[in-house]
Structures are given as structure tokens and as C-alpha cells.
Amino acid sequence: MDRPFGLVAELTYRCPLACAYCSNPVELAAYREELGTRDWLRVLTEAAELGVLQCHFSGGEPLLRRDLADLVAHAHGLGLYTNLVTSAVGLSRRRADQLRASGLDHVQISIQADEPGLSDRIAGTPSFERKVEAARVVKELGWPLTLNVVLHRGNIDRVAGVLRCAERLEADRVELANTQYYGWAWRNRAALLPSRAQLDRAEEQVRAARTRLAGRMEILYVLPDYYSRYPKPCMGGWGKRQLIVTPNGDVLPCLAAHTLGLPRASVHDEPLAAIWADSPVFQRFRGTGWMPDLCRACERRDVDFGGCRCQAFQLTGDASRTDPVCHLSPDHRLVTDAVRAAEGGAGQKAAARPHR
């Protein structure tokens, strides 16, 4: 694709939760000056003109923006399919009615576990009951409902219960996504990375639920990169399908690209079309020309595009190296060592605890 399919509009990094696997930047000082309503309206218009079809309003917690309904209405008026990605803390019936009237198409709610005590402990604040109530409001108003569950050592053994909870809430789709190790999750990796035995049990539970719920609920289960033979394509390929606009107006090809030290591209300085086509941050890892010889000669180069650049950088300090998740990577031991440590620590009560 020569045009982006989706826009992730990260409206704010403020959030009422404190999850140890949070994908928000660790250093938030650079994002305190958020784009105003007029700027976001312009960004949405430019995105539609560029060819974007889907807009995901995300954060942090997008419900903390008072202008959210206005932004949704503008995106709807542009013909974009709109999705709210939310913790659901703050999704009252009144707020939901406003968003319904604005034309919001879909709601995705994050849950941390299937029972209040564990869910609230992972989220860092009492929130489970509010999430359940919000999910019921979503269904009452006729929206499709996706539940997103970030899996890690502390909740992966509850997959069967999570799926039963999703069934009770009449979710249309469940995303069981194992933690990606950037930002806060990287800092807490020793306490979050599950063992192979935990993954095997979770896969069995997912298979059983898919059979039982076939035709009623879609279940997406994403294996953690560290246990895969090959890496996943980052965002469908660097600068190929998606773009992210952060709260301060930076534009990125993926959610963690701010960690790579690449030249900034900002909606304050250039229109989205110019950033997408010509900016160094989008050009740096497009195509195959940047690839090391190992990746360029691989038959999977147009399948996984060399893997995740941010993961390569996080593990090796060099974003242009083969993703160490790949079993062919000369740095693969960095992953196998982490997995070996998880195998030894997953059952130990004294394992390091996540922190925020």
C-alpha cells in the first residue's frame, strides 16, 4: 500500500490506570502540551485526504479529553470508521450517549483479569466493576464490543475465566495479546514474561473456547514474540499501513518508534501527506534496502519485513539489526536467555513484582 489504512490518534497519555505493561512512553514530560481541538480537527481532515479509512481514538485514556465527542463527530463526517480504545473508566451512560450521537462506530475496552481483586491489582486502581458496567452500556447502545486483554505472567493462567467473562458481557471480539516488551513492560519484563507451560495451557483454553463460541465471538490470540520462531511484521510493515499521531503532534510509523532517536516529524511543521511520503522517520525502515544481508536474502523479507525495529533496538541497541526474536538472528540468545529466566521464575512467589 502506498497510503495508510489506519490512524491511531493518541489524544492524551494521561490515564487513571497504572498498568505495569503500559505502552505509553516512560518519559511523559515531552507530551504535556497536547494538541488542541483545532489541531486535531485538521489532522483528521488531512488523514482522510491521505486515504485513511479507520481512526482509532486512543491514549492514555481518550475519555479524559473533553472534546472527544467533537473529534469523533468530525471523523464520522469525513467518512472514517471510528473506534474508541478505552479503559472504560469514565464511560458513563451520559458520555456514551454523547459519543453514540457523534457517530462512534466501535468500542474497545481493556480488562486486566476476570475477577475484581486481580483486575484492580493489575490496573493499580479499583476499576473492574466500572469496566463491566461500561461494557453493558456499550451493548445496550448497540455498539460492537471488543475486549482487549494484555496477557502476562500475572493473568495468563486466567484465560479461561477471561473468556467466560467476555461471554457474559456478550463481547463480539476478544483480543488476547501477550505483552510487548517496550517502555514500562521492558522495565518489568522479569516479572511479566510467562513460561512456556503457561502459554501451552492458555492455548488449550483458547482452542476450547473457539470451538464452544464459534459463530458467536471472535477470539484473537497473539503469541508473545519471545516464544515465536519468526518475528511478526511491525504494524504490517514500517510505514506501510498505519500512522500514529501522539498527544504533542509527533507522527510515527509505530507505537514505540519514539525510542529510536530518529528525526522528529510533527503536524505542527508539516501536513500528514508530506510526513507520510518524505519524512526520514517514515523512510528509514521502509522496504528492504535498509536490511542487513541476513534479512535481505531471506524468503520472508516481504512477510515479516525484518521484524520489529523497536524490539531490535531495545535488545541490541541497533534498530537496523535482525530482530533477535528470529531464530536465525545472531542475537537470538538475548531472547532465549530471557525465556530461560522466565522458565525458572514463573512459579516462584518471590519473583520480582511489576512496578509503576
Annotated binding site: 15, 19, 22
Q: Which residues are annotated as a binding site for [4Fe-4S] cluster?
A: 15, 19, 22
The letter for the amino acid at 129 is: E
Measured CA distances, 108 to 20, 131, 220, 270 (Å): 20, 11, 14, 31
- CA–CA dist 290, 161 (Å, integer): 44
CB contact set of 222 (below 8 Å; sequence gap of 6+) = 175, 176, 177, 178
Please give, one letter per residue, the 3-state secondary structure of the chain.
Answer: CCCCCEEEEECCCCCCCCCCCCCCCCCCHHHCCCCCHHHHHHHHHHHHHHCCCEEEEECCCHHHCCCHHHHHHHHHHCCCEEEEEECCCCCCHHHHHHHHHHCCCEEEEECCCCCHHHHHHHHCCCCHHHHHHHHHHHHHCCCCEEEEEEECCCCHHHHHHHHHHHHHCCCCEEEEEECCCCHHHHHCHHHHCCCHHHHHHHHHHHHHHHHHCCCCCEEEEECCHHHCCCCCCHHHCCCCCEEEECCCCEEECCCCHHHHCCCCCECCCCCHHHHHHHCHHHHCCCCCCCCCHHHHCCCCCCCCCCCCHHHHHHHHCCCCCCCCCCCCCCCCHHHHHHHHHHHHHCCCCCCCCCCC
Tell how far CA 54 is from the center of its chain: 15
